[in-house]
Each structure stands twice: as C-alpha cells, then as structure tokens.
Structure 1
Amino acid sequence: MFKFKKLPALLGQTAIILTISLIFTEVALRIYNKFNPSFVFYDASYNRYRGKPFADDYDFQLNSRGFKDVEFEVEKAPDTYRILGIGDSFAYGVVPYEHNYYTRLEEKLNQSNGNFEVINMGIPNLDPKDYLAILMNEGLELNPDMVVLSFFIGNDFLNSKSERRSLYTYSYTASFVNFIVQLARKYEGNVIHGKYVYQDDTKTLEDDAFLAVQQHRSILFYKDNNGFADDVETTFDYLQRIQEICNSRNIQLVVVLIPDENQVNPELQAQVVESLGGSLEYYDFDIPNRLLTQKLGQANISYLDLLDLFRTETNNQLLYKPNDTHWNIPGNELAAIEIHRYLREQFFNTSANH
C-alpha cells in the first residue's frame, strides 16, 4: 500500500527532474536557434489582419496566402532575383494591384534587362515586431535575395511605454508551446476592399475623422516630445534584429522610409497645428527621419528616405488619396520610380531607365 509519508519526497524528486528537463530543453532550443534561427519563436498573431485568400480586391483577387499579389512558388525559379516587399497598409495599398508601388517596381526592374520577382507581403496594421515575425514565419523559406521593408513614419514607431514583451517570450520553451497553440488557431482573413470600383480622387474619411488621425500623429513632430527618443530606440531594436537575420542568410536589407502626409503637405500641417491650438514653431517635421536615419546609418543598414522627394513633388501634384493617409496612384508611381532608381544605382550597378 502506498505510504503518504513518501509523497513529499516523490513530489520533490519529480519537481527536480522536471526542472532539470526544462533547463536542458531551454538550453538546447537556444543553441539550436543561435545557429539555425527558427520561425517557432516569433508571434504569428499578425495573421488576424491579413487578407482572406482569393478575396476580391477591386478588380483583382488576392493569392492563396491572402497577399495582394499573384500566386508564387516557394521554390525560386533559376536565375531569378527575388525581393520580398514587407510592410503595413502602405505596402498592401489602397490602390488597385496594378498601381501598387511593389507591382510597379517589379515591372520597372524587369524592363531594365533583368529577371526580378517582387513578392508583396504587405498586411494592414502591422508594425516592426510583426515585420520581423513575418520574415521569420513566411519570408525566409522563400529564399529571397533582398528584403525591401517599407517603414511608415506615421505609425510604425513603437511606444516604449506600451511595448511590453509577453512573459512567455523570455523562454524559448514557452515560445515553442505558444507556437503550437497558435498553429491550432484558424485565421480566415479579411475582405479589405472587396469588389468595388476604385476612385483615386474620392475622400476615404470624413474631414473630422481624417483631421483626428493627423492630430494624433502630430505628437511625432512635436519638439518637446521627450519620450520619442526612447520610442525610436525600441523600434530600431526590431529593425536591427531583422538586419541580423538577413545578414545570417546573405540577404540584402533595404529600409524605405515612407513619409506621413503631415510631413509633406504645408496646408495640412497648418490646419492640424491650428486645430490643436498650437504654433508651427513648436514642431519639427523632420525629427523622426533624422533620428531613425542616424541609427540606420550607424548600423550600416541600407535605407532610402522618401521625405524630401515627396515634399518637393507635392508642390506639383497630389500624392496622397484625399482624406486617407495613403498614397494615391501618382504617389505609388513616384515611389516605384525612386525605389527602382535607388536599387539600380546602389545594388545592380546600372542606371535607372524609368
């Protein structure tokens, strides 16, 4: 008959064995991930924002993965230079597929005597920690030669006060268990635009709603925003981790800085500042770009800042869809032209023809 007096000793032995097993598992997973970075340690919750596979998006259908792109094979075709386009709703785009800057970039690269494939992996509502996760979870298996990461100045900076790591992420064992749980969840995806006729000059938001969005973002450009440097640091940590992963796989990383309309439209700037009861002298609309490009340069991360170009070209034409915060068709085209020029001059050693 079992003697209850032995129960404490049995429980103690079990606890010791379990603790030792967990320690060995944790060490083994950390060693493995050091030499073979694995997707199982990255959060896949971004899936709740992705498009529904094969859903209508204006006159286009999303592919089987819910990306706004044509179908593609996991295995890269011979002699193909593959570029992954990662980003949020800017990369996904509010314009039809044919006018999206990643689509146009691929066309321009191939017009310049090459065999290029640009895969648009943009998903609305993502931020830099999601960019890292989608690269690990879905990007690396595609064996890309380059990652073009679209960083939107308007909302991609993570607030250092609110950005708190989940406790499980400090343990590789717990992260693996979380991966198994996430794997069991089903995200059916979203119909983002549906089967509608796109109109480039139609307002998306009412005036008051659009102004409220831009008022909220104006804190990025406020000179006395003392906590913003910490936000830049928090955000940059993810970009640096992406760079480390890319370096380990011999993948070229290029970060494209996408300006907020507040930064390039003087009339909007004045309207937003006036509505807040302030003065333009208290704002510096270059602050985010200046701080981030400094850190990118120090880390030897290649980047293209579109701020000056869009600020200049805004004097000649509308580049953002009315009351929307995203680029319209001309804005997408201008971005494609400039990214194409930059890639050709910096990495492919030929001049841009378009």
Structure 2
Amino acid sequence: MYYPNYYSYLKTHFNGLINFFGNNATSIFYVSFISLIFFFIRTIYLGIEKKLDFKIYTIVFVVLLVLSELILRLFNFQPGIHTYYKHFHPVNKLWNYKSFKADNTGILRIDSKVRKVISNRISKNNPNYSGREYGEIYCLTEEYINLIHGKTSNVFARYYKRILRKKNKSELDSAVLYYVKNPINSDGFRGIEFKEYKDQKPTVLLLGDSFTFGHSAMPKTSSFADLLLAKGYVVYNTGISATDVAQYLAVAKKYIQKLKPDYVIVNFFIGNDITYYKRKVLPFKPVFYCTNAGNIYYFYEGKYYMTSKAAYNFVLSQVSIPTNVSIVNKIASKSVISSLAWGVMKKFNMFPIFLNTGIVKHLDQSKYNKPYCNVELSQIEKLCKRHNSKFILSCIPDIMSYKIKRAKDIPNLFEGLKYYEMNVSELDYDISDGHFNVQGHRRYAAFLDRLIKSKTK
C-alpha cells in the first residue's frame, strides 16, 4: 500500500502534535495533575461553604480522571510506561525500515538498494513511498521531482537553472545535474559524487549528523550543504542523521586521504554529539537501528546491543515500570495516569521506600571524566594536518525549552581545540524538533562561507 502525498503531509503534522505531547509528557502530567488536585480541594471547600453535595464533585473529579486517561491513550500513551522520549515509542511488533547500512569499516550510509529505488522513482516521476520505507530518505523523491519540474523556489533551484542554461558545462556542473536526478551518491550520502573534480573550486568535506544531512530544511536543497554547493564550492556531504563523532572520525579516515579536500568542517551539535564513552566502530554494525519504534542506538554507556531487538528491550526497560519488584509498581502500571505519576515521583525521588525502580547501580569503568569526543576530534584534526587539509570545528548550539546551550556551557568540551560558533537565536530553529529551519540553514551557510574565506587569507 502506498500513501499519497497529502496523506504523508497530514501524517507528519499529526505526528508533530503527538511528539509535542510525548516530549513534554512529564511536564504536562505534572501541571494537569496538580490542577486536578487543586480543583478537587477547591470543590470540597465550596461544597462545605455552600452546603453543596460533596458526591457531585467527587463524581466530576472521577469523570475528569477517566477522560484524561482516555485522551492520553488516544495520543498513544500506554499504561506501564513512565517516561516518553521524542525518538522512541513502544510497539507491538518491532521491524526495521529499509534505510541505512554500515559498510566494512563501520561507516553508516544509505543502503545502495534504497539509492536505486529513489533514483528510479525520480526518473518515473513517482513521489510515493510505503509505510515500511523511512520517510526522511524517501521524501527526497518528491522534493527532487519538484526541483526538476521547476516547482522549487530557493537559492539552489536558481543555481540549478543557471547550469541548465549553460552551453559549456564544467565537470562540477555535470555532477550537480546528475545529483539532482540521483540525490544519493554511490557512496551512500546525499550529495554529488565523491571524486576529484578538475574545476578550480575550493573543496569542502562536511562531517556531521542530521543538521548536515539537511533535516528540517524544506526542501532539503535549502540546507547549508546545498547552499555551499550553490556558492561554487565542491561539497562532499557525509551527513547522516543520528550519527556521532565516532562516525565522523571513521569517515575522515576513509575520505580525507581519498578526496584531499581543501577544508574539513566538523559540524558538531551540542545537543547529542557530546560523549563520555568510547564507541568502537564495528564492521557492518550500524550506530543505530532504524526501526518503527524509533532510531535505537546499539551502544549505551559502554555496553553494545548486537541486535535491534536487544537494543529495543533495553530502552523499553528504562521507560517501563518494573512490575515484578513491588506491589506498588504493579498497581501503578495499570493506568496511564498512575504510570506518569510514578515517573514524576521517580524523577524527584519521592517516596523512595515505596518506589522500587528495579535498577541496580554499578560503577561503569568505561566512562571518561571529560568528553571523549575531544579525543576523536583531535584525531580528525591530526588527519587534516597530515593531508594538508584545513580543519574547521564548527559548533552548532542546542536549543531546549527556548534556551540556547553553547559550547562554553559544557565543562572541558573542546579542550585544546580551536572552535567556531555561530551566534544563533530561537528564530534559526524549528522549535518542534530542535534543528535549523530554512533561515538557520541560510545563516549557517553564510557563517561557514565566511570561515572558509578567512582561512584562505
């Protein structure tokens, strides 16, 4: 079964509403529950003062609780789950999306089969995709079909039209035309083919995650990687969503020597690139499993989970009430409201005698006192020096609850490393998912352009 475009649009926006409730479940519950208690106490007071029937207010209170339970279940909240995360939700049956694959060096990239499907659908003008196909990748078909048919209005679209009008096209021009029809290159990344071009243009290797891939850029060709390409740079974009600095290092080891870029830019996101553990990049093992329950990492705090099911069960155990350790837990797990209440009390360490979390604390010897990502970034810098590439560490601030977190807010981050950080504001982000919006991508592209030019002087 294939979803038409309008269905995907509605599904995406409805999921945004669900994500909002999921991301703020504890806060919403805490405020709502306090409001209900306040209402209950207030009604008791009014009932006594005005000699009204206390039973009526009790019934109203119970009805409100029942309605709250039903509404929460409507938004996919489940009994027994005490905490909700943006990128994880329990499922009845776990399965993997057709999406990514790790190669023999452990680098995560888009599966070659997926690449062929996307190129084929673009050639046939077919933008639809199935429910078993990962939306962030397969939505590229519609975006690039629109670009080809002149339905896109952005900087890259104008750059593309200028190339089409050229009589004598350069090697880079031809690469861009091929890229538009084949958004995923033969190396499994979104961008032009990875090769040395004869054009006398500065070459830039971009390392990064979803920001570099172009997440929340509507369309993806409004991302900073494509804007740099439109400025005339030869851009090798290796951005893959949900990857980490260990992946960036693996990519650097493979491609700096091969491509000999003039510039290597690490686009470091404060929100999830900071690590205190060393992750071994294992052959053919993806950094995360792309499943219908969310992107589930195979590595958590020093421990590896070699199957998607094992990783899923671990995460599920962290958000579920352990019912086999106490009668209080068993009772609390019977409803959504009591499960969320249990989560709130656990978070604030309330009634620890009655709440048995079932979690055994242990000393993790593999955790570093300082961010381990510093070590990996230093190794990338050394690779750049060895191959005469200019190293640029660009920090992307995180935005949480309308508060911006910068590198200076993290103790010992980038110790001994020179880094650059754009002066961002809330207006640069899509608040619903914390990524750059079109304005943010545009400003960040200009920021990187200035950095590159400053390095050439």
Indicate the residue corresponding to 1:65 in structure 2: 187
Distance (Å, rounded) in 1 between the aligned partners of 2:214 and 2:269: 12
Is 1:84 the counterpart of 2:225? The answer is no
Distance (Å, rounded) in 1 between the aligned partners of 2:199 and 2:109: 34
Code of the aligned partner of 2:106: S
Which has the higher relative contact order, 1 or 2, with Cα contacts under 8 A spaced 6 or more apart? 1
Confirm or deny that 1:103 pairs with 2:212.
no
Letter of the 1:65 counterpart: D
CA shift at 1:339, angstroms? 1.4
Larger Cα-atom Rg: 2
**Number of positions where the alignment pairs a residue of Structure 1 with one of Structure 2:** 218
Unaligned runs of 5+ in 1: 1-41, 111-115, 167-177, 192-226, 270-283, 298-302, 350-354
Task: Determine the structure 2 residue equivalent to 1:249.
Answer: 387
What SS is found at the alignment partner of 1:74? Answer: coil
Provide the residue aligned with 2:455 in structure 1.
347
Q: For the structure 1 residues 126 and 231, does the alpha-carbon distance in structure 2 shift closer, same or farther, using more than 3 Å as the test?
A: farther
Out of 396, 406, 414, the residue aligned to residue 258 of structure 1 is: 396
Q: Where does residue 310 of structure 1 map in the other structure?
A: 424
- Is 1:335 the equivalent of 2:451? no
Decide whether the 8 Å contact of 1:99 with 1:333 is kept in 2.
Answer: yes
Identity %: 24
Q: 2:259 aligns with which of 142, 145, 158?
A: 142
Q: Letter of the 1:53 partner, please give it.
A: R
C-alpha distance after superposition, 1:11-40 (max 9, x if no partner):
xxxxxxxxxxxxxxxxxxxxxxxxxxxxxx
State the TM-score, normalized to the length of structure 1: 0.53
Query: Aligned-pair distance for 1:319?
Result: 1.7
Cα-to-partner distance string for 1:222-256 (whole Å, 9 max, x where unaligned): xxxxx9x9464411000011111111111111011
Shift in CA distance, 294/190, structure 1 to aligned 2, threshold 3 Å: closer
CA distance in 1, matches of 2:187, 2:373: 27
Residue aligning to 2:115: 53
Return the structure number with greater helix share: 1
Distance of aligned partners of 1:100 and 1:285 in 2 relative to their CA distance in 1, 3 Å threshold: closer
Shift of 1:332: 0.4
Structure 2 counterpart of 1:305, which letter? E
Where 1:149 maps in the other structure, the secondary structure is strand
Q: What amino acid sits opposite 1:295 in the alignment?
A: G
Give TM-score, length-normalised by structure 2.
0.42
Task: Give the Cα–Cα distance (whole angstroms) in 2 for the partners of residues 156 and 328 of structure 1.
Answer: 19
1:292 CA displacement: 2.6
Question: What is the CA distance between 1:164 and its match in structure 2?
Answer: 5.6
Could you tell me whether the CA contact under 8 Å between 2:210 and 2:242 is conserved in 1?
A: yes
Structure-2 separation of matches of 1:152 and 1:295: 18
Structure 1 pair 141/164, CA: closer, same or farther in 2 (3 Å)?
closer
Q: Which residue of 2 aligns with 1:125?
A: 242
Aligned equivalent of 1:151: 268
Q: Find the partner of 1:93 among 208, 214, 217.
A: 214
Give the direction of change, closer, same or farther, for the CA distance of 1:136–1:165 in structure 2 (3 Å limit). Answer: closer
